[in-house]
Amino acid sequence: MARITIKEDSCKGCEMCVNACPKQLLRLNRDKINAKGYHPAMMTDQSACIGCKSCAIMCPDVCITVEK
C-alpha cells in the first residue's frame, strides 16, 4: 500500500516522473492546465503504486510526496 501526492501547481509537465515509474502508472493530465500553463502529471492507478519513490527522485521540481 503506497500513495503519492503531486503538487500540481509546481509541476512543469516534464514527464521525468512518467519515464521513471517502473509500473508506468503516471501520465500527463491532458484535461488539466495548471497556473503555470502545463499539463500536470497524474497518477492513473494509486492502488498499483509500490511506493518505490522513483518518480519523486527524478522530479526536478520536488512536487511529489510519497507515503508508504
Distance (Å, whole) CA 51 – CA 14: 21
Is 38 a binding residue for other proteins by CB under 8 A? The answer is yes
Cell of 33: 492546465
Q: Which of 7, 24, 11, 20 is nearest to 54 (CA)?
A: 20
Which one of 6, 8, 13, 43 is in contact with other proteins (CB under 8 A)? 13
- Angle (CA) 37-40-44 rounded to 5° is 155
Which one of 33, 48, 50, 57 is in contact with other proteins (CB under 8 A)? 57
Is 37 a binding residue for other proteins by CB under 8 A? The answer is no
User: Which residues contribute to the site for other proteins (CB under 8 A)?
Assistant: 1-3, 9-10, 12-16, 19-20, 38, 51, 53-54, 56-62, 64-68
